[in-house]
Structure 1
Amino acid sequence: MDNRFHAHSANAFGTWHRLNEHLTSAGRLARSFAGSAPWRDEAGLAGELHDLGKYGERFQRRLQGQDSGLDHWSMGAWLALSGYQAVAAALAIQGHHIGLQRGDRGGLLGLEPGRLTRQHPFGLALSDPDLDQLIARADADGIRYRPPSAKAVTRWDRAVAAMLDVRLLFSCLVDADFLDTEAHFEGDANGKRFRGPGPTLDPAAALRALDRYMDHGIRSGRQIRPAVREARETLWQACADAALAPTGCFTLTAPTGSGKTLAMLKLALEHARRHGLERIVLAVPFLTIIEQTAQIYRTVFADFPENFVLEHHGLAGLGPETASGDAQPPQERERRLLAENWDAPIVITTNVQLLESLFSNRPSACRKLHNLMESVILFDEAQGLPAQLAVPTLAALSHLSAAYRSSVVFATATQPAFDSLHEAVSRYAAPGWQPVEAVPDHPALFATLKRVEVTWPNPGEKLGWGDLAAELEEIPQALVVVNLKRHAMALLDALAETPDVFHLSTNLCPMHRRAVLNRIRDRLGRGEPCRLISTQCVEAGVDLDFPRVLRAFGPLEAIAQAAGRCNREGRLDEPGEVRVFDPEESGDWRRRYPTHAYFQAAEVTRRILLDLGTIDINDPAAFRHYYRQLYDLSQPAGQNPAFHEAIEARDFPEIARLYRLIDQDAIQVLVPWSERMEEFEALQAEAETDGIGGTWMRRAQGLAVSLYRPRADHPAWGILIPAKLRRSGRTNRQQDEWFILEDPRGEHYDDRLGLILPQAEQVLIG
């Protein structure tokens, strides 16, 4: 080691990372990641300042193992704030290790060196509290700081928009820092070795591939009725026409079975070609459908480079090559690296991954956000956005579109009336929410593709599980969707003697669900008897086509989504039969529905049904009427007051904690599914001997069931064995999220029912 200042210790070749080179490189990368954003110079300044504190003598000693407990970021953040009034850069620099903190006056003043010296919030010591000395050393090292020509944040009156600006600049800095540091440690005697860039989007070539797929796989299908083929062509052309519009926010309202999955890809690619956009990001609400969509996309682009379609979700990379305990193959390592910052032309992910990142404060979650700029962002089954988060979410997406040349598309057959929230959204982001409909004549499309007739229950009419089971015995092929797992179990008990009965819910681990879906599709395709009892996990995009569907009374959009599994391809001579029934259940809403919001939506549906006598689920106007009544009742803009208070306080950590699409008080349980017993046993043995880490958790996802955390005295804890966390070679550190099911006699994981806990209380999710 020489006597110059360094950012990082030696790599495997003994080369130390020069600090001035790291700061210069991080600044250059951060500026490039900002693209055409007006604040790109501020992003570059953040890169050049982020490790200013490493010019302190104490940090240089720390690199040699002679010091510890140091803060090397706050001095750079303070210079950005006090010297250049660059608030976003200051927050980004402060947060590049500890996460974004509060952006209000008190939080920013907390960066003042004197305060940090007296009492550091994390109990650390500044590597050097003398700012003038640090600046002088940087100057002597060739670092020249310049005021940015434009700032990311100059006002906070539209708080969601301003905080997204901060997160995007933070993303540029974090990705630049990670990549340059990685290049140093991956380097050799000749210097740094940066990872290769991911594939680039060639929209023209991708469109040719998509058109070939449509010509050979879809349009030539002889089993498709002419009316269905005509409707799909109409949707296809409407999406091509919509792509000519300027970048902005869109809705894509199209009926189930109209080819929406590929049509919105057509819109995205045409739009990207016209406007020079860099990537397409598709977000879906459920893992049960994400692999289905990913498989279609992989088939379309089979001849394109590896990772042209990049999956980023819990089940990605769980193919046969990674299911065992063998070393990670090179292609999976490359996928994981690209997933860190979404460096791919087409990214398929979940709503949770995308939306929670937009409101996160963590470096790892925010790292990819800059790659949402100048992109097309597709939300399939957009009705899944929770009402209590709708206003801030729409504000963030609206600002992303308006300020950063991105387009956002909300696609669904049951389009929420989010535009009625425009005024509330505009308080957080100036554009509000006024999307353009990509398919202006979608009511005619719904009329053309009417494939089902819905029968509604009469007022007060109830149906017991035994009576329903008796009906199903006379129906060879039928899907029954219920609201609670407890209801599914009751119906399955009533059907115990009936053959060809299947069950689908999140009681089953993902690999098990996938296998059940494949068996059901095979039986339906061969015309064999098949009766499926399912929870809502089968709705919203799962590709199943039953002639009869029975749906427990619930929210209108849920009923419509269930109906989308009936006569999906329009192959029946007569409309498919959808029957809505009211289960014979007593007690309050908790005995009938999974959440209070779900109960509210069901009651709005019931009120409309009583007023009108029937509801036409093939009429988009019916859903607009429904959602307006639902919003009048639930008041989304007034929900979650603690979250809105955190926004006004610019409290990044609190916002990240409160923004949750799903209940986070959950545990993961590794289960012994009989068809993957070898994999279960390998994972179990590895957990016992070595402990669990990130790679183990990714491999375990396919055999894991999510549970709401049982209460402390619940009997389930008698068979849930906590897995030990591997950390720095030690396996004795306790964690409380992953457990292994102890089931030597096969009593608690059933090949049909999935996980069965010894319990009187329902704790299973979904």
Structure 2
Amino acid sequence: MTVFYGHTNPNDPPHDKSRWQLMKDHALNVADRARRNAEAFGEGPRAELAGQLHDLGKYGELFQKRLEGKERGLDHWSVGAFFAKHHYRDAALALVVQGHHIGLQQGNKDALDEFTLESLKASHPLELRLTESEPHVTNFKLLLSRLMADGVTPVGARKPELRSGQGAAEMLDTRMLFSALVDADYLDTEDAMRLDGTLPRPVNKGLDAARALCALEAKLSGLGANTDVPEETRQLRADLMQACREAGLEHDRLWTLTAPTGSGKTFAMLLFALTRAAAVQASGQPIRRIVVVLPFLSILDQTVEEYRNLFSAAGFPPEFVLEHHSLAGLRSDESQGGQDDGEARQPGPDARLFVQNWDAPIIITTSVQLLESLHANRPGACRKLHRLAHSVILMDEVQTLPVALAVPTLKTLSRLTSEKYGAVVVMATATQPAFDTLSSEVLEAGLNDGWHPREMAPPGLRLFERSRRVNPVWHLDESVEWSAVQYWVRAEPQVLSIVNMRKHALELVKSLEGIPGLRHMSTYLCPAHRRTILAGIRADLKSGADVRVIATQCVEAGVDLDFPTVLRALGPLDSIAQAAGRCNRHKKRPSGELRVFLPSDEQYPTPAYRRAAQVALTMYRAGGLNLDDPATFRRFYEQLWRYESTHLEVLRQAVERQDYPEVAALYRLINNDSVNVVVPYGEGRALINKARQDGIDRHWMKRAQLYTVSVFRGRDGTLPAHLEPVNYRPRGGALPQPAPDWYLAHDGSYDEHMFGYLPDGGSADPFNQ
């Protein structure tokens, strides 16, 4: 009897098959793991069937020759997908099996109708033939007979009709099944290729909610006794914490938390999540993990540090809190061009392993990582999604969600909070968008209930009224010259001035050179440089020294700064409120002053940003703006959505077509027209030299993040000529290839003293760029 294998051992010669994995073992292992992954959302049997069928093509003799190095480029996934469609009439199952290496494809009726062995042969002329003379049907039946002869018997319910969905919720259902399969496949392949003597992948012990809650309560008790913080502020924070405790004992799954800046939202949300998890810990379906979602890396770093300090002091292991954010540039499974042969990467450090599929009690990640993964089609991006079932998802600073993506995002999140997935979602901010007004557009009958969140902080707490600490002064009736802004900065010993454009920040810094305490903060400074500057700013603020900061929006949401005076160029209302949050933040003064001005050189980073700023200006001129009234922000978002389409029409159409690649391409939270430029600051110099000598890999990219600035392409797609391209070194000995999103800056193009990256490369006047 012929023995069929699923994987080789990469360190063994082709003729030595003693450590090769049997195909039946791979099919049974993946089926078992996929079933366990999907049991949390009631799809265990269907996921098990996907595991049994996913590598049906490996029972072909050509694939066995491929393992011996005698063939290459074979498609081993389409025949299992065809069987799922032909026999079980299950569109999602077919898409999941087909996509486990090449990604989810199109699920509309036309695409499914064309999903035949004949069409597959046309696109893959060799992949589905055992020999050239065998007909397709015989080939298909022969592969299935070999699977069953190996002791694997696919069993599943045949559907009455082949149908695909039409909404975002149904796409999420397919992605969750996909996630259960691909994570199981990755894990079993990793085990099969593990070398003798290496330890198996560690098992995370899970969320010990009761113990974690005790640690947090002890921390909050200490903060409440801190007399460095005014009693009024401590009492406000204590009231918010109590509201979150009480909400954590309720059964609702969709919440908002609307609380002013400086009121302690970071720990308040965690308190809600741990209270909820502890309350249901002994139930049949406990909370499995907490996912904290933040829009910016600057906030993420700060939150990671606070959480790790909290739980490490209580004796929790380092992997209890996992940090995960995406690397811009080459993605984990896109560089293979859809030709992945199923061979896993070599095992690495525990943290990297846990990151791959979010196998940790507390995940701290970015909006880009979570939301783009929820709308992705690639195996690597979707692999972690099944972990979201029965989790608490804490989304902070939700006002940063692009208006154009609001409806599809809310549809997906609402589906996660359905009975099927049992997730709890919290949308937190000081400037709560009126998402509930979109409920009728979000509703997908039978799949989600629209958008009807419950507010965690009751109106009776009067949080915004009690936290009033800033006196806004509006200079919006006529434009203000930059010379006036320069005068304001010179006149205040401690002042923060926030402008909308990086070039405005550079020009303002240039005009103020020589004054005491001058600092520059923008994304022209790499993250490591910004950290150093922020530490110096905080030290000067605490000591009472002169500190005058010219900055862009990078110092707003979540950055802990406390200035007596803040200047803010006109921007969207939520950005103005975030600027106010850096003014008299801890209420140590009777009142701080926020001056909002309309620059004579009025410019904005994007058209959407401009439109939002104009809505704020219109509201001011129509009757004024009250930054301490949540109703003001509700009106702002309602008016903004009248001007903005609440979803991209092309994205809506792609969802209706169930076009997974197109949805993944269109759903982007950030502008993709930028590249990463590694600058010669600190360790960045050594990284630049290494890249020049050896090219770059994923480990290099991770190290380089702290020394990277984003540079946007010109309208014609070009980049500054002084940037130096580099090559990416793929795994497995493949030839180097260009890394289109990574460049190097030379020594003269970065100023460590004040300006950071110089757009012209340092050869001329950078302030005219």
- Whether the 8 Å CA contact 2:90–2:163 is kept in 1: the answer is no
Q: Distance in 2 between matches of 1:458 and 1:751?
A: 34
- Find 1:147's aligned residue among 145, 156, 164: 156
Residue in structure 2 matching 1:722, options 722, 725, 733: 725
Query: Compared with structure 1, are the counterparts of its residues 548 and 97 closer, same or farther at alpha carbon in structure 2 (3 Å cutoff)?
Result: same
Matched with 1:555 is 572
Partner of 1:322: none
Structure 1 residue identity aligned to 2:266: T
Give the residue type in structure 2 aligned to 1:623: F
Matched, 1:627 2:637: yes
The equivalent residue for 2:128 is: 126
Structure 2: how far apart are the matches of 1:761 and 1:37?
Answer: 60
Question: What residue is the counterpart of 1:437 in the other structure?
Answer: 455
Q: Which of 156, 162, 173 is residue 170 of structure 2 equivalent to?
A: 162
Q: Does structure 1 retain, via aligned residues, the 8 Å contact 2:319–2:351?
A: yes
Residue of structure 1 aligned with 2:205, choices 166, 189, 199? 199
Alignment pair present for 1:506 and 2:520: no
For residue 72 of structure 2, give the secondary structure of its aligned residue in structure 1.
coil
Q: CA deviation at 1:187?
A: 4.7
- Cα deviation, 1:572-627, whole Å, max 9, x if unaligned, reads 1x111111111122xxxxx5111111111111111111111x21101111111111
Partner of 1:666: 674
The Cα of 1:511 is off from its aligned counterpart by 0.6
Match in the other structure for 1:655: 663
1:597 aligns with 2:597: no
**In 2 relative to 1, CA 109–607 (structure 1 residues): closer, same or farther, beyond 3 Å?**
same
Alignment of 1:184 with 2:192, yes or no, is yes
Partner of 1:259: 264
C-alpha contact (below 8 Å) 1:309/1:347 kept by paired residues: yes
Query: Counterparts of 1:713 and 1:390 in 2: how far apart (Å)?
Result: 28
Which residue number corresponds to residue 576 of structure 1? 592
Counterparts of 1:762 and 1:457 in 2: how far apart (Å)?
31
Match in the other structure for 2:218: 212
Which amino acid counterpart does residue 70 of structure 2 have in structure 1? Q
Aligned-partner Cα distance in 2 for 1:198–1:762: 54
Q: Which position in structure 2 is the counterpart of 1:310? A: 322
Q: SS of the counterpart of 1:300? A: helix
Query: Per the alignment, do residues 87 and 620 of structure 1 end up closer, same or farther by CA in structure 2, a change over 3 Å counting?
Result: same
Alignment of 1:692-707 (within 5 A): 692-707=696-711
1:234-253 map, 5 Å: 234-253=239-258
Question: Does residue 116 of structure 2 align to residue 108 of structure 1?
Answer: no
Q: What's the counterpart of residue 536 of structure 2?
A: 519
SS at match of 1:459: strand
Partners of 1:438 and 1:332 lie apart in 2 by 41
Task: Tell me the distance in 1 between the aligned counterparts of 2:152 and 2:353.
Answer: 30
Tell me if 1:38 matches 2:42: yes
Correspondences of 1:146-545 after superposition (within 5 Å):
146-148=155-157, 156=164, 159-188=167-196, 194-216=200-222, 218-275=223-280, 276-302=286-312, 303-313=315-325, 333-402=349-418, 403-427=420-444, 430-441=448-459, 444-460=462-478, 462-545=479-562
- In structure 2, the residue corresponding to 1:70 is in which secondary structure? coil
Residue 126 of structure 1 aligns to a residue in which SS?
Answer: coil
CA distance in 2, matches of 1:215, 1:539: 28
Following superposition, the deviation at residue 723 of structure 1 comes to 0.9
Q: Secondary structure at the match of 1:34?
A: helix
**Distance (whole Å) between structure 1 residues aligned to residue 410 and residue 3 of structure 2:** 49
SS at match of 2:675: strand
Q: One-letter code of the match for 2:738? A: Q
AA aligned opposite 2:399? Q
Deviations 1:512-568 (A, max 9, x none): 111111111111111111111110111111111111111111111100000001111
2:544 and 2:224 mapped to 1: Cα distance?
A: 24
The one-letter code sitting in structure 2 at the alignment partner of 1:61 is: K
CA distance in 2, matches of 1:713, 1:97: 31
Whole-Å separation in 1 of the counterparts to 2:224 and 2:490: 37
1:79 is aligned to 2:78: no
CA-CA distance at 1:464 after TM superposition: 1.8
Partners of 1:48 and 1:499 lie apart in 2 by: 70
Please name the residue that 1:758 is paired with. 760
Deviation at 1:407, TM superposition (A): 0.6
TM-fit CA distance, 1:230: 1.1
2:201 and 2:557 map into 1 onto residues whose CA distance is 38
Deviations 1:113-143 (A, max 9, x none): 12212x11x6662254411111111111000
- The residue number in structure 2 matching 1:324 is none
Name the amino acid aligned to 1:264: M
What letter corresponds to residue 597 of structure 1 in structure 2?
Answer: A
**Other-structure match for 1:4:** 3
* SS of alignment partner, residue 724 of structure 1: strand
Instruction: Give the number of aligned pairs.
Output: 727
Task: Specify the SS of the correspondent of 2:28.
Answer: helix
State the distance in 2 between where 1:126 and 1:331 align: 32
The aligned counterpart of 1:681 is 685
Deviation string for 1:652-706 (max 9, x for gaps)? Answer: 0011011100011211111012xx1xx2332123212221111111111111111
What does residue 336 of structure 2 align with?
Answer: none
Return the alpha-carbon distance in structure 2 between the equivalents of residues 10 and 226 of structure 1.
65
CA distance in 2, matches of 1:669, 1:353: 21
1:102 & 1:561 partners in 2: Cα distance? 41
Unaligned runs of 5+ in 1: 317-329, 586-590
Structure 1 residue 485 displacement after superposition: 1.0
Q: Determine the C-alpha separation between the residues in 1 that align with 2:248 and 2:764.
A: 50
1:83 to partner: Cα distance? 1.2
The residue type equivalent to 1:213 in the other structure is: K
RMSD over aligned Cα atoms: 2.4
**Amino acid across the alignment from 2:431:** T
**1:79 Cα shift?**
1.1
* Distance apart, 1:471 and its partner CA: 2.1
Q: Which residue of 2 aligns with 1:321?
A: none
| More off after superposition, 722-731 vs 691-700 | 722-731
Alpha-carbon distance between aligned partners in 1 of 2:327 and 2:41, rounded to the nearest angstrom: 34
How much identity, in percent, do the aligned residues show?
Answer: 44
Q: How much does 1:710 deviate?
A: 3.6
Local SS of the residue matching 1:307: helix
1:648 counterpart letter in structure 2: E
Tell me, in whole angstroms, the C-alpha distance in 1 between the residues paired with 2:516 and 2:230. 32
Judge conservation of contact 1:483–1:536 (CA < 8 Å) in 2: yes
The question of whether the paired residues in 2 share the 8 Å contact of 1:242 and 1:267 is answered with yes
Structure 1 counterpart of 2:713: 709
Residues 466-519 of structure 1, C-alpha deviations (whole Å, 9 max, x = no match): 222122212111111111112112211221121211111110111111111111
Indicate the larger mover: 267-276 or 658-667: 267-276
CA contact (8 A) 1:378 1:410 kept: yes
Aligned to 1:608: 619
Matched residues in 1 for 2:396 and 2:719: separation? 39
Distance (Å, rounded) in 2 between the aligned partners of 1:611 and 1:199: 57
Question: 8 Å contact 2:89–2:158 — kept in the other structure?
Answer: no
> 2:40·2:390 contact (CA, 8 Å) conserved in 1?
no
Amino acid across the alignment from 2:760: P
Name the SS of the counterpart of 1:408 in structure 2.
Answer: strand
* TM-score, normalisation: structure 1: 0.91
Structure 1 counterpart SS, 2:39: coil
Is contact 1:41–1:148 with CA below 8 Å preserved after alignment? no
2:265, 2:159 → 1: CA distance? 41
